[in-house]
Structure 1
Amino acid sequence: MERNVCIRCGGEMVHIGQEKLQLGKFGWLTGSWDNLLSGALTVDIYCCRNCKKLEFYAVEPPEEEATIAQVPCPHCGELHDMDDAKCPHCGKRLY
């Protein structure tokens, strides 16, 4: 995604910071309880130098790679993923 060019005027977009946007709403009977319970969304804020347009991009949490347990092959002794149907090293079928 191109974040350094303004979609309105084509000017340069600069990162001006990161903020938390409050989720939820203020209700007539519940007051601000919904705001307190719903949390916040962290966003990166970019501003155009020419037209001052603001753009908000959600900050995505870093993806955690799921690791599968490694076990030794009963035939060759090399480590492989626990859910492999056959050993990727010696090719023998695993139980």
Structure 2
Amino acid sequence: MDRSTCLRCGGEMGHVGQERIQKGQFGWIFGAWDNLLSGALTVDIYCCRQCKKLEFYAVEAPEEDGSGIAQVPCPGCGQLHDMDDAKCPHCGKRLY
């Protein structure tokens, strides 16, 4: 993928830097404690010099070894969702 050209306007992209983006969600009961266990994703950040659009590119492929947020079935619809979701993203049932 060409990182030097903006996907929106075709302008020139400049490398802004590299950051670690925190994964996970802020929970009602545990607050930000779940974020400590979720890990972070290292990304390169590029900015278009014309339209100022930001683009994020993963430095390394995300780990797929089960170290992410655990998935559990919803008691209402049975669809899998993140264990720390406050409500099911599929049917909207509140989870406890």
Q: Corresponding residue for 2:46?
A: 46
Instruction: Write the distance in 2 (CA, Å) between the matches of 1:20 and 1:2.
Output: 22
Give the secondary structure class of the aligned counterpart of 2:37.
helix
After TM superposition, list the pairs within 5 Å mapping 1:54-65 onto structure 2.
Answer: 54-60=54-60
The number of equivalent residue pairs is 61
1:33 Cα offset (Å): 1.1
Q: Corresponding residue for 2:25?
A: 25
Q: Once superposed, what is the RMSD of the aligned Cα atoms?
A: 1.0
Give the secondary structure class of the aligned counterpart of 1:8.
coil
Q: Corresponding residue for 1:89?
A: none
Q: Over residues 12-55 of structure 1, what are the superposed CA-to-partner deviations in whole Å (9 max), with x where a residue is unaligned? A: 00101000000001100011111111111000000000000000
Q: TM-score normalized by structure 1?
A: 0.62
Give the secondary structure class of the aligned counterpart of 2:45.
strand
**Stretches of 4+ moved more than 6 A in 1?**
none
1:60 Cα offset (Å): 1.6
5+ residue gaps, structure 1, are: 62-95
Instruction: Write the distance in 2 (CA, Å) between the matches of 1:32 and 1:6.
Output: 34
**Identical columns (%):** 75
Higher relative contact order (CA 8 A, sep 6+): 2
Give the secondary structure class of the aligned counterpart of 2:47.
strand
Structure exhibiting the larger radius of gyration computed from Cα positions: 1
**Which residue type is aligned with residue 2 of structure 2?**
E
Instruction: Write the distance in 2 (CA, Å) between the matches of 1:44 and 1:58.
Output: 6
Instruction: Write the distance in 2 (CA, Å) between the matches of 1:45 and 1:56.
Output: 5
Q: TM-score normalized by structure 2?
A: 0.61
